[in-house]
Amino acid sequence: MEQTLIPATAWWVNVLLGIIGLNLLVWPFLSRWVESHLEIFLLIIGAAAVTVSGGWSVDFIYQTLQYPVNVAFIVLVVSLIFNNYSRYIFRILFAFFKELEPRYSFAILIFLLGMTSSLVSVTVAALVLAEVLKVVNLEKEATLRITVFACYAIGLGAVLSPLAEPMGLVINSALAGPPHYADFFFLLRNFFWWITPAIVLLAVAAGYTARNAGSTVQMQIQEDKETYASMMRRTWHIYLFVAALNLISTGLRPLAQSTITHLSGKILFFANAVSVIIDNATLAAIEIVPTISHRNLIYMVIGLAAFGSMLVQGNLPNIVAAEKLGIKSREWARIAVPTGLVLMLGYFIVLAILL
C-alpha cells in the first residue's frame, strides 16, 4: 500500500533517516537492554522513521496491525502441532538421525529446508529448524552456527517462487508484462542455478559443524514440551517483530529511493546491503521496473538474498529461529556477518565472471 511521504529530495529527511538507520544498526550491539528487548527497540525506531518520512495515516496503522497476523498465526499453529504431536514427529527424526551420522543428517536437513522454503514458507522452514535444534543435544556454539547457515539457506531458497515471501511476489508482479512476461516459474528458471550451489555449500558447512560437535557431545532426541503461555509469548514477540519491520521498511523507504535507485547492477549488488535493515520486498518494489535488464535483475535479487541474514532483524527466518532458540543479536552477528561477507564476495566474483 503506497503511503504519502515527504519528498525524498528533502535533504534533512534523508539526514534524519540516515541517523535513524545508523542507530538501528548500532544499538543492538551496544546495549544489553536493546539486545534483550529487540522488538520494542525496533518498534520505537520504526515509529521514528515513519514520523520523519511523514507516513502516518489511518490506513497505514491498520496495515501495520494486520500485516503480522498471518506470520504470527503460522508460528502459533506450527508450535501447537510440534508441542502436541512431538512424540510422533521426533520418533521419525530420531530414526533419521540414528541411521545417519550427524554431519549427513544436518547437511540433508538444511538442504531440504533451503530448497523447499519457497513452497512451505520461510516461517515454517525456520520453525522446523528451531524445533529440531531445540531437542537435538548439541553444544550452543554448534547450534548457533547451524542456525545461521540454515537461515541463509532458507532465505536464498525463498527466492525460487512467489509463494514463500513477498519479495518473490513483488518481482513476479512487476515483471508480468513485456519484455519479461514473468509467470509462476519465472524465478525458478532464472535463479535455480544461481541459488542451489550456495544452499549446497551452506548445508555442507552445517554438516561439518555438526560433525565437530558430535565428537564431543552425544546427540540425543528428547521430547520437549512447552507451556501454552510460552507459545503465546513467543507468538506475541514475533507479531511485534514483524509489525516493527513494516514500520522500518516504510519509514526508511524515502532514503532508499533517493540513494539506491538507478544504479548499475554491480553497484546495486553492494547497495542492497541495506537489506539488513530494510525489508527485501520493499527494496525489490523500489528497484524493480519492467524494463530492468536480465543482468541487473540477477545482481539485484542475489544481492538482496545474500545480505538479508547478516543481522537478526534482516530476515523473517532469522527472527523466528532466534526467538525460538534464544539467540541474541551479538551472538547472531558474530557468525552471520562473516558468513554473509564470504557469501557476498563469492557471489560477486562468480557474477562478474559469468554475466
- Using the CB atoms, write b or e for 209-221: b if 16+ within 10 Å: bbbbbbeeeebeb
Residue 230: how many other CB atoms lie within 10 Å: 12
The CA distance from 227 to 151, in Å, is 26
Q: What integer pLDDT is reported at residue 293 of this predicted model?
A: 86
Q: Which residues have a Cβ under 8 Å from the Cβ of 270 and sit 6 or more positions away?
A: 303, 344, 348
pLDDT by position in tens, the chain (length 355): 444 444 444 778 889 988 998 888 888 888 888 888 888 998 999 899 999 988 899 999 998 899 888 888 888 888 888 777 766 766 777 677 667 777 888 999 999 999 998 888 888 889 889 888 887 778 889 999 999 999 999 999 989 988 767 778 778 877 888 888 988 899 999 999 999 999 999 999 999 998 866 544 455 555 556 788 888 988 898 889 888 888 887 888 788 777 766 677 788 888 888 777 777 777 776 777 777 889 889 998 998 888 878 888 888 899 889 988 999 989 999 999 999 999 999 999 999 999 8
| CB-side neighbour CA atoms (13 Å) of 10 | 11
Q: What integer pLDDT is reported at residue 262 of this predicted model?
A: 66
- Using the CB atoms, write b or e for 287-316: b if 16+ within 10 Å: bbeeebeeebbbbbbbbbbbbbbbbbbbbb
The SS3 call for residue 187 is helix
The CA distance from 199 to 217, in Å, is 26
Q: What integer pLDDT is reported at residue 196 of this predicted model?
A: 96
Q: What is the dihedral of CA 213, 218, 219, 222, to 10 degrees?
A: -140
Q: What integer pLDDT is reported at residue 134 of this predicted model?
A: 81
State the cell numbers at 142: 554448534
Which long-range contacts does 161-165 make (Cβ < 8 Å, 24+ apart)? 161/118, 161/119, 161/187, 161/188, 162/187, 163/118, 163/119, 163/121, 164/117, 164/118, 164/119, 164/120, 164/121, 164/122, 165/121, 165/122, 165/280, 165/281, 165/316
In DSSP terms, which residues pair with 221 in a beta bridge?
136
Q: What integer pLDDT is reported at residue 333 of this predicted model?
A: 92
